[in-house]
Structure 1
């Protein structure tokens, strides 16, 4: 293995500095997500406490229990309140999982920044060494050569970020495809149950498929959040337009409190529509990232060609 030249060292130092700056932007975005997830988790836990209070009012002697007894619907009211309490607990558990995932992402980014060390000092030292080399060689284009080496290093760091964003996008698209398949299955069973009097077996199958699709869309959300972090430092308008909308953000608990077969069908249809729109946005993002990568390769080729011209002059 050949020894690293001052030119190589400068490019590596520039790449590390660019990487640090990009990770810092990503960490800021991840920190905002953690704060948002903390507020969400607190709100969901408060909902659990409220639902538990409603159940307790009906389980012990209270005005609510007496009134329900007089109306003759105590058992039904209690069943509904217990179901809502269970749904709130499930939602709160999902909120804690989302918070843990966001915190893990922030911790990963923070550790990556620490691992890079003092990139500014390393860059300054590499720059000084490269300047001494080219000036000692008497090159008339020494300053341009230093600038080219620095730009090549920055492009290397940018290339890493684009590749990581493309990987995160591919994972998200795969997760979305699986979720759409699960949703199609749920929609089929819902239609059968609604229009053909499916019976108990069909009802069980429908709710099993609904549960699977909800879990699948929860995985989509986690992938979207990771993708949003990876895109935070790229900044082009098509990238910034890819957001986790409010409707997509509640896919985790999309199918709580189902009151009728018609409501189930409507929610499945709405979810399918949102999933299709998301797929279209991800396809646009894919094209944008490919364009960015191609542009980076083109700039890198031009810089290398210019560097060779200067060295051979």
Structure 2
């Protein structure tokens, strides 16, 4: 009997905790969606402004004629095109992010509904536990219930830590793909400077395009990693510095555009990727340490439970 009741207690506690975490995630996701929608509107305004600047210089306007006469039109046009391209990359990223988060919100709303009954079940569980303790009139029964509750909490902590570690590893994998594409582009850029010609230039730009596509994958995996870290209980000096996750793509695109025009350098972009990779590696290392500590606590509680059960038999 007690085995079935204890199993019911564990399952109800887990569902109740899962429901709370899902609601927290949903709230955070909705805030992120509002932020990204605001960014999308802002980048659209910037993009339109930059496009107008390019069009003005490419037209036969008085301003364009002035720049041509003084010999600076091409330089000015190149600068405006670079600014337009940076704005376009950021706008496209924001658009994809809004689309991704919108889908995630819909999925999470469904999940939250599935766990709605957990609150009522949890209230019933509290009453049932009180009745069990009163009926047994045994301190060991109360202690055993407390130990099982602690075990259930630790099991959930460990599961959430492992999910966060996996999400961090996904970020590192995407960063590695981006870094490889950038290193390849840098090598082709050096070859181009040594006289590689059109093929080298095309190859370099192909690698940069691939790195650009990876940027969204990295940004998305960073967001998912950040969401998983919301579930994690951490102790001690554990500075996650999550704010930099949200702006990684913006910094990367700025570096990409400034590097693009220098044939032999992809350094800014590579530095951005390397810095983020070091940060993620540091966080996942701390998560692994937390997981090991939790596992040690769980092992100790399991021993205590076995001891109590053997004494009660």
**TM-score scaled by structure 1?**
0.83
* Aligned residue among 268, 276, 279 for 1:278: 276
Unaligned runs of 5+ in 2: none
Paired position in structure 1 for 2:110: 111
Deviation digits for residues 154-206 of structure 1, max 9, x if unmatched?
22332331122122112112111111111110111112223x13221111111
Q: Would you say the 8 A contact 1:47–1:88 is kept in 2?
A: yes
Counterparts of 1:252 and 1:260 in 2: how far apart (Å)?
A: 13
Paired position in structure 2 for 1:50: 49
Paired position in structure 1 for 2:155: 156
Deviation digits for residues 21-48 of structure 1, max 9, x if unmatched?
3333333433332232122111110012
Report the CA distance shift for 1:85/1:177 in structure 2 as closer, same or farther (over 3 A). Answer: closer
Counterparts of 1:235 and 1:140 in 2: how far apart (Å)?
A: 30
Counterparts of 2:133 and 2:55 in 1: how far apart (Å)?
A: 80
Query: Alignment length, in residue pairs?
Result: 308
Report the CA distance shift for 1:63/1:38 in structure 2 as closer, same or farther (over 3 A). Answer: same
Following superposition, the deviation at residue 208 of structure 1 comes to: 1.1
Report the CA distance shift for 1:225/1:239 in structure 2 as closer, same or farther (over 3 A). Answer: farther
Following superposition, the deviation at residue 69 of structure 1 comes to: 6.8
Q: Would you say the 8 A contact 1:239–1:288 is kept in 2?
A: no
Q: Would you say the 8 A contact 1:161–1:230 is kept in 2?
A: yes
Paired position in structure 1 for 2:262: 261
3-state DSSP of counterpart to 1:181 = helix
Q: Which moved more, 1:252-261 or 1:148-157?
A: 252-261
Which residues of 2 match residues 1-313 of structure 1 at below 5 A? 5-57=4-56, 62-65=61-64, 67=66, 85=84, 88-194=87-193, 196-234=194-232, 236=234, 237-238=237-238, 240-241=240-241, 243-244=244-245, 246=247, 249-252=250-253, 254-256=255-257, 260-261=261-262, 265=265, 268-311=266-309, 312-313=311-312
**TM-score scaled by structure 2?**
0.83
For the aligned residue pairs, the C-alpha RMSD in angstroms reads: 3.2
Deviation digits for residues 6-29 of structure 1, max 9, x if unmatched?
111111111122222333333343
Q: Which moved more, 1:139-148 or 1:197-206?
A: 139-148
Q: Which moved more, 1:285-294 or 1:22-31?
A: 22-31
Counterparts of 2:301 and 2:182 in 1: how far apart (Å)?
A: 49
Report the CA distance shift for 1:63/1:3 in structure 2 as closer, same or farther (over 3 A). Answer: farther
Q: Which moved more, 1:35-44 or 1:223-232?
A: 35-44
Deviation digits for residues 234-257 of structure 1, max 9, x if unmatched?
253436235427455432564236
Q: Would you say the 8 A contact 2:140–2:308 is kept in 1?
A: yes
Report the CA distance shift for 1:215/1:253 in structure 2 as closer, same or farther (over 3 A). Answer: farther
